[in-house]
Structure 1
């Protein structure tokens, strides 16, 4: 009976997609500093559309932009999500799947779970960190070790003064590390607690002086539908003081802040944020923004500044303080990965940010499923985005070969990209390299 309900919900969802697309062209992507954001159209039945995970066949890879080339730095991983480069050049990748969402209460819950399972977004989580080493310098990691295992849905990683930090879904762990080690077996200590589940990723970025950690903690739900108390201490970026062991909320109202990076000239902290669902294909857009100390960015009461979400019980005083983000990235692109790319790292690319767009599940025309670049001038996003890697998604949108997540600069100056459906770390360089 449950399977029948699930099929019924899926059929209704497909019909709603057709109705939303009938007689009109797809909406233009809401991009840039002054995006055109369509009027909100609340959906009684949320759009549910996601490609089947297929993976990469031999010889198949994403398409690199002109002047660039891509190769597999490491294959055969298990849902690699995030990347960190150790001081000696070893590359770490956190391998994890999402936290169990709990009991399935409705036919739509079942349809959602079934869709996510088909898309390889749920399942048994490896809960480990793997070490990769390219000892001979040919751009392919021929050495592989299990660096850590038995973790609790690890994601963010950082190294400071001989201490290795891991962002588990329930908090930040600190472990002693010896340079060159291929495995950590010592007991760790927890330095910060966070509520697990919901948006489960915990990204980590050390402050530029190495005295603090910034941690991204997403919301439990879409629009606080489980109540505001359940969202207490979530949808924010924390600042953890490593000297005295305290932490505070640095900025709030950020539904799901994942990637974190500093703009080097201003020192401003930037993040990419996944916005809410159920208001339309491009409403509201995910975004890239600088983050102000004490700033509030709207969730759940409003979006893109002070545009009120009427589905949520309102707090006019909070709405009045909401800060508009800097740069729209399109609706539901699931922009997760973020790193600073200095000019000249890739030929033809100036200073800017690289963003791994994991890809949508909740719009009539799929979006994301690529790695993009946003140019910067005077410390701020400037100009249209450019593609770096594309074709993670089949042209008919039935299959995803991969889904990009974490991005970082590799030890050889290449760009590394974690692909959690393809189970690959991709390496991007200039075509002549």
Structure 2
């Protein structure tokens, strides 16, 4: 398996090097990005840095005026974070559990993903961290809930704890200040597993509904659209009636969600399709409309048709252009609203954990960034909060940003790093 991974890396590196010569000079970023014309790749560009982790006191690089420390270490692929009202911090530890490979390409892809710690045996648990003495480091660690199915998103409404497993949403009874919950919980909604497997959750501002991100099975509907039914969407669950429906669709892989407080509008970050070039199409940050359709798989960035896909002209005609491009293949996953005053030198806006992708000749993402907002919309270029997750030659990944949220003290950010197995805490210096 290791030999196959090395061979795949060599071939992928050669292809990436060849394509790097003609790669765009600038990222497609902002409200009016310059998106290069699609260039079908045939053989996909595959470039993945080997997972190294953090050693010998090495830390991510902070923006000026900030500092970073490890809130918790030694976790098992931490992906998502939820802060409870009492200040306890919940961490979903899980990873993709792949289906049995059928082709040589499947074997090669899985060998590569194992080498970079992206797939494997999943911990399938949520861990509770508690910083009882308030020093910025968690000294209490407990298993909050275990034996789940690739858990990810979490939400607490009253004394009911909701958990987004890859196959649906479960709910458990929660006692305030408890360090664990027991029992199997109740299944509320079924989702199709596999493919883009993460299921992020967010509660509506009035506490009556939960929204869940459900990604596509494939890149561009490769197994037919019947297999994609109910996917590439954000779902809404009415907590009073138990009824669930698709809230918005055509979102290839909507992961992190956040509420913009002035307008109480839902926003999300979306990972776009592969195989059309380094910057084509860009991943994006967008507001989400009830009933809105955002293009996948028929078109991207509004009505730019993907001619690899059998078309539906009626859906293309109604496709909504996203609000803000984040660059191609940044794998923007984590998202939270940061109020003004949280970090010195930063106003209010969205914080985004960019996991970094593989379908590029020159890697992008691998950063924690900030997008400023004004009047309910993005108002300027992105700024780095944390960087330095990649080696200069792009061969090693020390870490990869995923979920991000405001810390219990309201003066810090917590960010999950699923390669470093760390929860980082960012504060003013």
TM-score between the two structures when normalised by the length of structure 1: 0.97
Contact 2:168 2:187 in 1 (8 A): yes
Residue number in structure 1 paired with 2:229: 232
Contact map agreement 2:2 2:111 (CA 8 A) in 1:
no
Q: Note if contact 1:212-1:242 (Cα within 8 Å) is conserved in structure 2.
A: yes
Equivalent in the alignment of 2:151: 154
Question: Aligned equivalents of 2:352 and 2:7: distance in 1?
Answer: 36
CA distance in 1, matches of 2:137, 2:369: 23
Give the equivalent residue in structure 1 for 2:69: 71
Aligned 1:311-390 pairs, distance under 5 A: 311-390=308-387
- Aligned partner (choices 376, 392, 399) of residue 389 of structure 2: 392
Query: Offset at 1:238?
Result: 0.4
Structure 2 residue aligned with 1:132, among 129, 149, 160? 129
- Does the CA contact (< 8 Å) of 2:8 and 2:112 recur in 1? no
Task: Measure, in 2, the Cα distance between the counterparts of 1:224 and 1:308.
Answer: 14
1:409 is aligned to 406
Q: Is the 8 A contact 1:26 1:365 kept in 2?
A: no
CA displacement at 1:186 relative to structure 2: 2.4
1:4 is displaced (CA, Å) by 7.9
Matched, 1:180 2:177: yes
Distance 2:336 2:56 in 1: 29
Shift of 1:21: 2.2
TM-aligned CA deviation for residue 192 of structure 1? 0.7
- The question of whether the paired residues in 2 share the 8 Å contact of 1:13 and 1:45 is answered with no
- Aligned equivalents of 2:11 and 2:48: distance in 1? 15
Q: Where does residue 95 of structure 1 map in the other structure? A: 93
Q: Which runs of 5+ in 1 are unaligned?
A: none
Q: 3-state DSSP class of the match of 1:375?
A: strand
Per-residue CA deviation, residues 64-90 of structure 1 (Å, 9 max, x unaligned), is 100000000001111000000111110
SS at match of 1:317: helix
Change (3 A) 1:5 1:144: closer
Structure 2 unmatched runs, 5+? none
- Stretch deviating more after TM superposition (256-265 or 26-35): 26-35
Q: Greater shift after overlay, 230-239 or 53-62?
A: 53-62
Does 2:248 match 1:251? yes
Structure 1 residue 382, shift from structure 2 partner:
1.1
Whether the 8 Å contact between 1:352 and 1:374 is mirrored in structure 2 is yes
Gap change, CA 1:402 and 1:6, over 3 Å in 2: closer
Q: CA–CA distance in 2 between the matches of 1:8 and 1:183? A: 45
In the other structure, the counterpart of 2:13 is 14
| 1:419 corresponds to | 417
Query: Is the Cα contact below 8 Å between 1:6 and 1:108 reproduced in 2?
Result: no
User: 2:239 is matched with which residue: 239, 242, 255?
Assistant: 242
The aligned counterpart of 1:284 is 281
Q: 1:357-410 CA distances to partner (integer Å, 9 max, x unpaired)?
A: 001111110110010000001000111000000001111111001001000001
* SS in structure 1 at match of 2:200: strand
Residues 184/36 of structure 1: CA separation in 2 closer, same or farther (3 Å cut):
same
CA contact (8 A) 1:78 1:423 kept: yes
Corresponding position of 1:430: 428
Q: The residue matched to 1:258 in structure 2 has which SS?
A: strand
Retained in 2: the 8 A contact 1:339–1:353?
yes
Q: Alignment partner of 2:393: what SS?
A: coil
Partner SS, residue 248 of structure 1: strand
Per the TM alignment, residue 7 of structure 1 is displaced from its structure 2 partner at its CA by 6.2
Q: CA RMSD in A?
A: 1.3
| Structure 2 counterpart SS, 1:150 | coil
Q: Does 1:57 align with 2:55?
A: yes
In the TM superposition, what is the alpha-carbon distance from 1:30 to its structure 2 partner?
Answer: 0.6
Q: Is the contact made by 2:9 and 2:48 (CA closer than 8 Å) also made in structure 1? A: no
3-state DSSP class of the match of 1:231?
coil
Separation (CA, whole Å) in 2 of partners of 1:27 and 1:282: 10
Match of 1:306 in 2: 303
CA distance in 2, matches of 1:114, 1:59: 30
Report Cα offsets for 1:269-297 as digits up to 9, x if no partner.
Answer: 00000000000000000000000000000
Structure 2 residue matching 1:230: 3-state secondary structure: coil
Residues 141 and 11 (structure 1 numbering): CA distance in 2 closer, same or farther, change over 3 Å? closer
How many angstroms does 1:8 deviate by? 6.0
Structure 2 distance, partners of 1:4, 1:45, is: 20
SS of structure 1 residue aligned to 2:227: helix
SS in 2 for 1:407: strand
